[in-house]
Chain A
Amino acid sequence: MELLAYPFMQRALIGALIIGLAAPALGIYLVQRRLSLIGDGIGHVALTGVGVGLLTNTSPVLTAVLVATIGAVGVELIRERGRTSGDLALALLFYGGIAGGVVLVGLSDDSSNSNLMQYLFGSLITTSVQDIAVIGGLGVAVLVAMLALRPALFALCNDEEYARVSGLPVRTLNILLAVTTAVTVTIAMRTVGLLLVSALMVVPVAAAQQVTRGFRTTMAAAMLIGVGAAGAGIVVSAEIDTAPGATTVLLALVAFLGATLAATVRRVLVRRSHPPVAAEPPDVVLHG
């Protein structure tokens, strides 16, 4: 615990807590829409942005936000057209993103393997004061947008056609979700890494929905699980010297298993206390 006295640990923890709250708040809409893997794909694209930043000596976070946003809006436009080839187009975009990123990082002056690994899997010691300001500002923006627009985003992700007939600005909201996904992926890459970002958006939601009944409670529970896993992940990884992103994701998965187990136990108990009643009387009664 004395590790938390170090400023770099405090910064890492603050960053992780913000992401732990923001990622599931966005992720619930992606899960509802069956786009659980989109964060992963945008993460691939963001790596190209990191490469551009390292190569041009600008802030990699800034260039990653820009490139990931362009990628996310592109994906949304493909999805909107609803063609079957969209699946293939996404695959091309994602693989292009990660391959471009690896090549560009390799071409830059700062081309050590460990540098690439930091972006792919996150690192505790790389979070600077400036990073925390960016993560804090963007993270709060994501949180506010996802919470304030919850009724509209819920309606959109639940039934897009109904949202359209309700006169909602469907396209604007879709683009907002795409941009928010790109921003969340990028601010989370310092802590959990680009390859595991999506897990923090999806796993807390998957865990929460095992035990909840409504959308709002699922959102609240997912944010609690997310912030808990992210905070604990930082502390545990510092104590036992493991990668923080992977540790966080494993803790979230433990929460998922725990929630699934709890839900199963509850179902069994309910069934035992209310044995099923025969729905209809028998048609015939046989004597003798």
Chain B
Amino acid sequence: MTNVVEVRHAAAGYDGREILSDVSLSVAPGDVVAVLGANGSGKSTLIRTVLGLVPLRRGEIELFGTPQRRFRQWQRIGYVPQRLGAGSGVPATVGEVVASGRLARRGIFHFPGAADKAAVREALSDVGLLDRIGDPVSTLSGGQQQRTLIARALAGKPDLLVLDEPNAGVDAASQEAFAESLTRFAGAGGTIMLVLHELGPLRPLIGRGVVVHDGRIAHEGTPPEPAGHHAEPGHDHVHPHADEVKAGICEWAPTERTKAY
């Protein structure tokens, strides 16, 4: 079976600054892969390069067996960005935002039909927000907005979900809610690739961890367990001399925001 994502010796970056220098990675159907790493390590750049949002400088990327440049089946990919696009003041309801998730499947010249509306409702009930379908997204909490974005991705019925730090700054209830959504998605055979800062409630779901450090893959395998005093319950992970702390290879990139669990 062809891999869902195949990255070979990829280099990428912005404006003359190279962030990824040589990354290779395979994601097979049904895999749940967490991309871990310190701030600025290039973990977000890695998934953005896979999606074609950051130009590839060297190497190759294949999506579902097709070279990324010729890939057209975007309805197979559901992308969940870190946050809702900059709020502009023009109101939009939760339902309208989630309906955007159907565009890749429907094409831009078709107006939504019954199947589209049903998919929007189904995705919203999956993340537990069906009762907010008519509310402006600006009235939702950060965690609920994040769940709206997951619903938008799920509404397109993708085979691969790509999430960029879905639990950054999200309340515990919302973290639980979308951990359940992702578990259901993976249980149905879906493939997930997500950037994470801390594993949190998603821990049991992750099949493989990939640690990005210095533009390369520094570690790949089962998600690393916190060790020593990092593993103690209630340990608040504080690095008073953050500059001196380098992300070790086998512990997954401690930062000042990392907490033990």
Contact = CB atoms under 8 A, between A and B. Distances in A.
A215 interface: yes
Contacts of B92: 154, 158, 214-215
B52 A218 contact: no
Interface stretch (A93-101, A121-129, A145-153, A254-262): A145-153
Contacts of A160: 85
Contacts of A159: 81, 84-85, 100
A149 B96 CA distance: 14
B51 interface: yes
Contacts of A167: 72-75, 104
Interface in B55-72: 72
Given A205-B90, A214-B92, A215-B93, A151 B84 contact: no
B108 A215 contact: no
Interface size class on chain A is 20 to 34
A33 interface: yes
Interface SS of B by simple majority = loop
Contacts of B86: 34
Q: Pick from B77, B79, B103, B134 the residue with the most CB of A within 10 Å.
A: B103
A151 B106 CA distance: 11
Nearest to B152: A162
Given A152-B108, A159-B84, A213 B100 contact: no
Contacts of A216: 96
Contacts of A32: 88, 90
Q: Which of B86, B91, B95 has the most CB of A within 10 A?
A: B91
A31 interface: yes
A28 B108 CA distance: 19
Interface in B80-116: 81, 84-86, 88-93, 95-97, 99-101, 103-104, 108-109, 111-112
Contacts of B232: none
B135 interface: yes
Interface string A186-217: 00000000000000000001000100111110
A162 B88 contact: no
B188 interface: no
Interface in A139-175: 148-149, 151-152, 154-155, 157-169, 173
A260 B151 CA distance: 32
B1 interface: no
B108 A213 contact: no
A166 B100 contact: yes
A169 B108 contact: yes
B136 interface: yes
B72 A214 contact: no
Contact of B103 (A155, A213, A214): A155
18 contacts: A28-B90, A148-B109, A154-B100, A162-B79, A162-B152, A165-B74, A165-B162, A166-B101, A167-B72, A167-B73, A168-B103, A213-B93, A213-B135, A213-B136, A214-B136, A215-B90, A215-B91, A215-B93
Given A162-B81, A165-B162, A166-B79, 13 more contacts: A32-B88, A149-B108, A158-B92, A161-B53, A161-B79, A162-B79, A162-B152, A165-B74, A166-B74, A167-B104, A213-B91, A214-B96, A215-B93
